[in-house]
Structure 1
Amino acid sequence: MKYWIGILGSLFIPISQAGVLEYGASLDQSVWKMTTDTPLECRLEHIIPGWGKGAFVSHAGKNTNMDFELKPLRPQARIQTVTVRSMPPSWRPGVAESGISKVRFYKQFDGLVNGQAAWTMLDELEGGYTPSFLFRDWYHQNQPITVSVSAVGFRSTYQNFLGCMQSLLPYTFEDIAFTILNYEKNSDELTPYSKRRLAMISDYLKADPQIDLALVDAYTDSMGSKWPNQQLSEKRANSVKKFFTGLGVDEKRVKIEGHGEKQHVATNETERGREVNRRVVISMQRWTPPEFNVEKTASR
């Protein structure tokens, strides 16, 4: 089932062999490009002429993750099962094609291959093989169709993709969106654990421009007088803001407020309770386009 379209030059014409409509980049059309290279997302894209594009995507987080998104020019017209296979390169005659996975394509959503199957596709491409999607095309009277991902030009850009993955933050927005930091007694000095946590939040703030506001609310225990405690809470809130802005975060994205000894969350009768009450609460608001939310939720 291997095919070449290089003889067609830059003009793409789908080929039909034995009743199968085939789409894929020719030798001179095959391009891989890093379209996102940030501590939050790595995206490696490939154009499939006449059909759409595919992309390998990995996101920040504690767990290793990999997706391959297959985005057609025309939306999926129905739900169907798709076979993903690996086709051998022309310089390995006699080698048989092999199966990678079976996936579901959902109506009105991009195709998605995730987890181990996506990693297998990467390995096959690195070895010069061609991962291909086999299904029936509603737009061509249910004719069998093969959509192929070319290995030409893949290896050099793949190294950049791996480098990007090594720089992904090991936590997500959900991991740091609401954080409570604690202080040493009678001080605006954070505890060692809270300092590490604050550094994590700062890294994420710098990397994610969609976080439009970080709210910093500071509190004290009830030891001492109310007015000094109010001033201390404001000092603590300001110290967090200075930490953020000192690392390049726009001060307009940080809003602070000191609450003094109000809103205790534990008893002030014990040292442990007072330690819990000496705190700063950081909560972040993130703007996300509605269409992104809907598509991601449904496609996963």
Structure 2
Amino acid sequence: MAFKRFITSGVLGSIFLYCWPINSCLAGISVEYASPMGDENWRMSGNRLRCGLSLTVPNYGIAYFEQYAAKPSHFILSKWQQVERRLPAVVFAAPPVWKPGGNSYLIAKTSVNPGEYGLYLPRDPAMKLLTYLAQGYQTRFQYQSEQGFAVTVSLSPANFQKVYAKYQRCLGNLLPFDYASVRESILLFNTDSDELSDAAKQQLKKVAEYCRADPMVKRVKVAGYTDDTGRKSYNNAVSEGRAKSVANYLLSLGVQQSRLSVTWYGVQNPVAPNDTEEGKAANRRVVIKLYK
């Protein structure tokens, strides 16, 4: 058997995994979890912040591929009844039951772990797993349960292609940046100016794009500041102009008025001493903060 030769040629780090079938190492029965043939219900969910592709495995849990904006993809096989200790596992791709006789391929050596995530695969093995499913392979996860049974969890490629295509389109529409890159933005200004630089406009476009994508953002606070050049009343007016310039630009980009909170502080709260040009430049700023 091709898979037996493949398994025995590698070092898999757990004695029971050398055996094929897996239950030849164990006394007692083997247990397999899989969707009934024809009932495989792959589901895609997503927006510009997250894409997910999942399959519920009856009596076991949920298998899902997932990727967040500006983050690498991963795969999780969650188990409803969580294990209490780490269990070594192997993941491989095998021909589907309706195409017997082909080779099987090792995808990863991993483990089933305590906690809600169970079995976790980072980007590279997750991408291999996804590719094998897309090519029509059945993917299997094998480990020895805490009770000594040989456990196999199977994911079928049946009904996968259409949902996979939707998932790929979702991935292509993810934001190229995440919340951390827009949570707080600092825009700098020239002396006596409230004109937005090209770099400031680019950052504000990212802020607005994120606000449109994430309904959890409840408030966008805009605060204007100046250096200590000029009188207090003049500096207050300059900081007000800067804050309103930023707010108006965000409004023009589609950020709702109800989300915006605009204030200005003049020379208060400097981030650097005003006794150098560098310090003054750092203090001529508007700070934009997003709150969820």
**Which bin holds the TM-score, normalised by the shorter protein?**
0.7 to 0.9
Q: How many residues align?
A: 267
Q: Measure how far apart 1:220 and its partner are.
A: 1.4
CA distance in 1, matches of 2:175, 2:190: 28
1:168 equivalent in alignment to 2:177:
no
Q: TM-score if structure 2 supplies the norm length? A: 0.83
AA paired with 1:96? Answer: N
CA distance in 2, matches of 1:90, 1:106: 29
On the 8 A contact 1:184/1:191 being kept in 2, the answer is no
Q: TM-score if structure 1 supplies the norm length? A: 0.81
Q: Return the match for 1:99 from 103, 106, 109.
A: 106
Q: Measure how far apart 1:76 and its partner are.
A: 2.6
Equivalent in the alignment of 1:76: 83
Q: Return the match for 1:118 from 103, 106, 126.
A: 126
Equivalent in the alignment of 2:207: 201
Equivalent in the alignment of 1:13: none
Q: Measure how far apart 1:190 and its partner are.
A: 1.4
CA distance in 2, matches of 1:101, 1:50: 24
1:1-300 equivalences under 5 Å are: 19-35=29-45, 37-61=46-70, 65-110=72-117, 111-138=119-146, 141-268=147-274, 271-286=277-292
Per-residue CA deviation, residues 202-245 of structure 1 (Å, 9 max, x unaligned), is: 11122122233332221112333321221221222223233334
On the 8 A contact 2:50/2:174 being kept in 1, the answer is yes
Q: Secondary structure at the match of 2:218?
A: strand
On the 8 A contact 2:96/2:156 being kept in 1, the answer is no
CA distance in 2, matches of 1:247, 1:48: 44
Per-residue CA deviation, residues 80-114 of structure 1 (Å, 9 max, x unaligned), is: 11111111123543212221101222213222111
Equivalent in the alignment of 1:11: none
CA distance in 1, matches of 2:278, 2:92: 60
On the 8 A contact 2:49/2:68 being kept in 1, the answer is yes
Q: Measure how far apart 1:258 and its partner are.
A: 0.2
Q: Measure how far apart 1:270 and its partner are.
A: 5.4
Distance change >3 Å, CA 58–CA 232, structure 1 → 2: same
CA distance in 2, matches of 1:105, 1:167: 32
AA paired with 2:142? Answer: L
CA distance in 1, matches of 2:274, 2:115: 56
On the 8 A contact 1:84/1:134 being kept in 2, the answer is yes
Per-residue CA deviation, residues 236-284 of structure 1 (Å, 9 max, x unaligned), is: 2223233334434343433222011223334545554433221011223
CA distance in 2, matches of 1:165, 1:66: 10
On the 8 A contact 1:39/1:207 being kept in 2, the answer is yes
> Structure 1 stretches of 5 or more lacking a match?
2-16, 287-300
Equivalent in the alignment of 2:7: none
Equivalent in the alignment of 2:8: none
Q: Secondary structure at the match of 1:123?
A: helix
